């Protein structure tokens, strides 16, 4: 039985393709859109089309940007000999908010994940190699997450980049600041011990 008519069903189907949206949420979103004023719906679709149209990857770091070269890569205040490799633009934003890093970034747009059929060629690794050849950085910081995929990608990159004469570093994992040691998980504790430094 077709309860709502085909155009609604198609809309529900489209919403349920989005990541993290199940069938109930997709219904809720579809009904919300249909109950909106027509001009609000047009505003929504135009914003999507405009973003898709105007946003490209920065030609240097592969972050999203509406310019050929993003603000960070174009800035003369940043040290382009120090490149932090991140999975996602959100990781880049998180580091920027610390105001504690004056190097530049390289956004992979994913992690190596054989189970999801994502290999090195699906990431922005070719662009990273090009960049290293051109800009001759002195240090590459591998700042992928400490998940299985994040570790695998970091190890892959470490091996790949060993052909260049660059220092390859990995961000530190350990007890988060303010956290209680007795509640930390075993792997975090082991990492904190392994990464101990002279005091």
For residue 131, which of 169, 166, 93, 87 has the smallest C-alpha distance? 166
What is the x/- site pattern for a copy of itself, positions 153-192, by CB under 8 A?
----------------------------------------
Q: Which residues contact 149 (CB under 8 A, 6 or more apart)?
A: 111, 112, 113
Tell me how far apart the alpha carbons of residues 64 and 107 are, in angstroms, rounded to a whole number: 9
Of the pair 31, 164, the CB lying nearest a copy of itself is at 31
On whether the CB atoms of residues 90 and 143 are closer than 8 A, the answer is no
Residues 33-52 that bind a copy of itself (CB under 8 A): 33-36, 38, 41-45, 47-52
Segment contacting a copy of itself (CB under 8 A): 64-72, 130-138, 152-160, 181-189? 64-72
Helix (H, G, I), strand (E, B) or coil at 49: helix
Please tell me whether residue 18 binds a copy of itself under the rule CB under 8 A.
yes
Whole-angstrom distance, CA of residue 30 vs CA of residue 24: 10
Instruction: Note the residues at the interface with a copy of itself (CB under 8 A).
Output: 1-8, 10-11, 14, 18-21, 25, 27-36, 38, 41-45, 47-55, 63-67, 70-71, 88-90, 92-93, 96, 109
């Amino acid at each position: 039985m077709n309860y709502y008519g085909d155009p609604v069903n198609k809309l529900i189907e489209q919403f349920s393709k989005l990541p993290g949206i199940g069938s109930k949420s997709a219904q809720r979103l579809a009904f919300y859109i249909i109950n909106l004023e027509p001009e609000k719906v047009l505003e929504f679709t135009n914003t999507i089309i405009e973003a898709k149209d105007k946003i490209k990857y920065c030609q240097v770091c592969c972050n999203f940007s509406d310019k050929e070269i993003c603000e960070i890569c174009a800035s003369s205040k940043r040290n382009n000999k120090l490149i932090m490799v991140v999975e996602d633009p959100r990781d880049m934003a998180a580091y920027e908010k610390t105001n504690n890093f004056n190097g530049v970034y390289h956004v992979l747009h994913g992690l190596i994940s054989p189970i999801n059929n994502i290999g090195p060629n699906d990431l922005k690794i070719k662009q990273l190699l090009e960049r290293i050849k051109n800009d001759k950085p002195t240090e590459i910081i591998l700042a992928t997450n400490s998940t299985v995929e994040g570790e695998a990608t970091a190890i892959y990159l470490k091996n790949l980049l060993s052909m260049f004469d660059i220092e390859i570093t990995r961000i530190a994992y350990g007890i988060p600041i303010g956290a209680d040691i007795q509640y930390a998980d075993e792997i975090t504790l082991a990492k904190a011990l392994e990464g101990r430094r002279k005091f």
